[in-house]
Amino acid sequence: MISIFGVVSAIVAILSIAALVLHFKLMQRRGALEDALANMKAALYPLESEDDENEEAPAATQEKVEEAAKAYNDAVKVYNEYISRFPGIIMAMVVGFEKEELVGK
């Protein structure tokens, strides 16, 4: 027979995994945004860049930055929504996750 404790433990484990997956996806988006910003800096300030062959036109780089920022903000909205409602709020308190800020706002 399955105990209530076993069911609750399984639910908590599943919710913890969901919170961790959302947090991981958010960190991936943040990394993509940071990479796009670094590429933009290299394109705008070529004298500071040692790798001239990989420089892109500033307009194309700007588009990549905007796309990465939008993807990051979309991930932040999903993440913040999850950790501000039940059951995500409980997992956020247990794991120590906090709301993230949108970029460019």
**How far apart, in whole angstroms, are the C-alpha atoms of residue 98 and residue 105?**
18
Is the pTM value of this prediction over 0.85?
A: no
Dihedral angle over CA of 73, 75, 78, 82, nearest 10? -120
Q: Where are the domains of the chain?
A: 4-95
pLDDT score recorded for residue 6: 81
Question: Which of 37, 39, 19 shows the shortest CA–CA distance to 80?
Answer: 19
Task: State pLDDT tens for residues 2-51.
Answer: 788 788 778 777 777 777 788 888 888 888 888 887 877 777 666 544 55
Task: State pLDDT tens for residues 76-86.
Answer: 898 899 889 88
**How far apart, in whole angstroms, are the C-alpha atoms of residue 97 and residue 89?**
9
